[in-house]
Chains A and B, each alone.
Chain A
Amino acid sequence: MLRYAAGRLLAALPVLLIVSLLSFGIVWIVPGDVAAEMAGPTATAEELARLRERLGLTRPWHEQLVGWYGALLQGDLGESILLRQGVAAAIVERLPVTLSLTFTALAIAFVAGTALGTLAAVRAGKAADRAAMGTALIGFSIPDFWLGLVFVYVFAVVLGWLPTGGYVPFATDPLGWARSMLLPAATLALAQMGLFARMTRAAMLEVLQQDYIRTARAKGMPGWIVVGKHALRNALIPVVTVAGIACGVLLGGAVVIESVFSLPGVGRLIVGAIQRRDYPVIQGGLLLTATIFVLVNLVVDLLYATLDPRIRHGRR
């Protein structure tokens, strides 16, 4: 298991290297003069020169690259021009919001999706199956920004059960945190829940045909143990693989949801930075999002091995 984990970790390193190179290269890829774009049309030549100096654009590219990695290794992502704040500090400040949102949504999508998919598979062809798959399809097809607005209207404006938006840190008020997360996370989760439900149903239907399910029944195991223990653990193996990809989609979707629910997260930081051409923030945001994605998939790989002993032992 330890060797497997180390192997997965080593395999993740080249990806991180490429991502960091891409982040560095953004400044070179955009057409025109980055400094001119950042400073805007009213900037004087003197201001432009100062900005170039600050961004290090006056040095040769290889020096800039060495400087970029040198700073990166010290956790320094540069200075945001508009926020008058270090990029790393700006991201760290907003990261809890985005991580809360993404992982709460992932949890909701996974739990509800696998439950729905299992129900559908066990009752395949019956009314419960059609109802569960119908729910999954609806979840799949509704645009999240629209659903978010409907949720806000119904649960916050009309019923007044939950806040319309804003973020409460977990450390100051756990209940308030949960209340602030519920609507945005549910909104974000719905589409992925549909995905998990369909994946689980397909995997479950296949597993329920297997001989070892018949063995479990021949042992006199009650139906809920046959399904919940013998079948589900096997059916979850492909579903967990998808969780890594779903996490990437959720991170992307968080950008929209943060705007709808006015959550001060990394997504809104990056969108703002793109609008105002705050390149250091864009670079840092890209690097961070990609790193989270790589880490999540690393966790997925480890989870995968926990579920399937054949992978742990390097077979198959």
Chain B
Amino acid sequence: MSLISVRDLSVAFGGTRVLEDVSFDIAEGEVLGVVGESGSGKSMTALAIMGLLPMGGTAAGRIDFEGRDVLALPEREMQRLRGARMAMIFQEPMASLNPVLTVGEQIAEVLRRHRGLDRRAAHAEAIALLKLVEIAAAERRVDEYPHQLSGGMRQRAMIAIALACRPRLLIADEPTTALDATVQAGILDLLRGLRRELGMAVLLITHDLGVVSDICERVVVMYAGRVAETGPAAAIFDGPAHPYTRALLAAIPRLEGPIGALPAIDGVVPAPADFPSGCRFAPRCAHARPACDAAPPPLRALPSGTAAACIRAEEIA
């Protein structure tokens, strides 16, 4: 049975639907990668799961987490899940930590709230958590403020906060995007190791397909608020069926082979108010036909092992 099952999730702000018919499952201990350009709805999906949509946003559909529909849970119940059963880390580690509270206090607070530890025990556990995320001199760092830490250390501290209560699901929203390349590798190694050690499921949002091939077992490719393609990571990389997935893969720079122009996808993701009525990728797609504009194509299982939302998937393969 899956840990979390998202069914026909849609998110709207007023009359504007930014997310439509998003469905996927994550099994216990599985790492699911969600990829797509900026504006494809990756973060909105994550925030909907956490019940943290920005003001004015409403979610419809079902999100079953450990057997309960979190969209139907009252806020008080959600507060008990957040930080305890499901946790989230964000893109900007500097902006995501409170500048006027020590790192230790920001970790200890979660322990006191969800695990009922007293002040001393929480402080000691905070040090243990900083050691778990491999921060050197944790005894000293625990009483420091975010501005005294480097970017990589801040993201490690964020991970320590997220893991404080050993959540079953960790949502990581572009956790390495704001960091230097060498630091990125360290954070990813850490996440990989911790996930093995703690056996938690991870929803990893990224636009970096290299990261996906590195640590994800399954992948959801999103475009303009809908799922374009989904399947096991190996199948997606070996036999991408959706033109958008193929274009994304073609845009990865390769170290081997001749140096040539890097193929880019022309145009940008449309704003939610301008989403086309048919296939949303059609205006940027080289294989588009008039039929593509008729209706949004449903996800179809394909022989290659993935499911893609493209009516011409077999023809162009």
Contact = CB atoms under 8 A, between A and B. Distances in A.
Interface residues of B, number: 29
B147 A310 contact: yes
A210 B110 CA distance: 19
B88 A218 contact: yes
Contacts of A315: 147
Interface residues of A, number: 22
A212 interface: yes
A25 to B, nearest CB: 44
Contacts of A307: 100
Contacts of A237: 100
Contacts of A211: 90, 92, 95-96
B90 to A, nearest CB: 6
B47 to A, nearest CB: 8
A283 B81 CA distance: 66
A214 interface: yes
A31 interface: no
Interface stretch (A178-186, A196-204, A219-227, A243-251): A219-227
B79 A222 contact: yes
A133 B99 CA distance: 28
B52 A218 contact: yes
Given A220-B113, A309-B147, A313-B147, A214 B79 contact: no
B16 interface: no
Contact of B113 (A215, A217, A219, A310): A219
A130 interface: no
Nearest to B97: A212
B148 interface: yes
B147 A220 contact: no
Nearest to A231: B98
A217 B82 contact: yes
Contacts of A215: 90, 96-98, 158, 161
A234 B88 CA distance: 22
B95 A219 contact: no
Interface string B113-149: 1100000000000000000000000000000010110
Contact of A212 (B81, B88, B99): B99
Interface in B86-113: 87-88, 90, 92, 95-101, 109-110, 113
A222 to B, nearest CB: 6
Nearest to B91: A211
B83 interface: yes
Nearest to A124: B55
Contacts of B78: 220
B50 interface: yes
Interface string B62-90: 00000000000000001111111001101
Best-surrounded residue of B84, B87, B97, B109 (most CB of chain A within 10 A) = B109
Contacts of A220: 78-84, 110, 113-114
A307 B97 CA distance: 16
A206 interface: no
Interface string A284-316: 000000000000000000000001111001010
A230 interface: yes
Interface of B: 50, 52, 78-84, 87-88, 90, 92, 95-101, 109-110, 113-114, 145, 147-148, 158, 161
A-B pairs with the 6 shortest C-beta distances? A220-B83, A220-B82, A219-B83, A211-B95, A309-B145, A212-B98
Given A215-B96, A219-B110, 6 more contacts: A212-B96, A212-B97, A220-B81, A220-B82, A220-B113, A309-B100
